[in-house]
Amino acid sequence: MKCTLKFLPSERTLEIEAGEMTLLEATREAGLPIASACGQNGACARCGLDVISGIDAIEEESEREARIKERNRIDPELRLACRVRPTRDMTVRATYW
């Protein structure tokens, strides 16, 4: 099954196979910059994105993800792109796009 990811404010879109890649990988595939200093281990929390729509298309935040964001002083509303595997259409936002 395919899903479409929309990246704001750039308005870029990317169609991927549901669950095929992380949101971090998809962002890079779409040609957009995204910070990540830990090699996609979910340790640095630099890849936080705001999920505008499609939050029901991803797993709930784990306790580990919440602790990592708190430790790194990342907005608790953001989701770590390296921990998220979209399974349905989503719209995400980063202020630097």
Residue 2 pLDDT:
95
What are 47-90's pLDDT values in tens digits? 999 999 999 878 899 999 999 999 999 899 999 999 999 999 99
Domains of the chain: 2-93 (3.10.20.30)
CA distances from 33 to 3, 25, 56, 59, 95 (A): 21, 11, 25, 24, 11
pTM, 2 dp: 0.89
Decide: helix, strand or coil at residue 38: coil
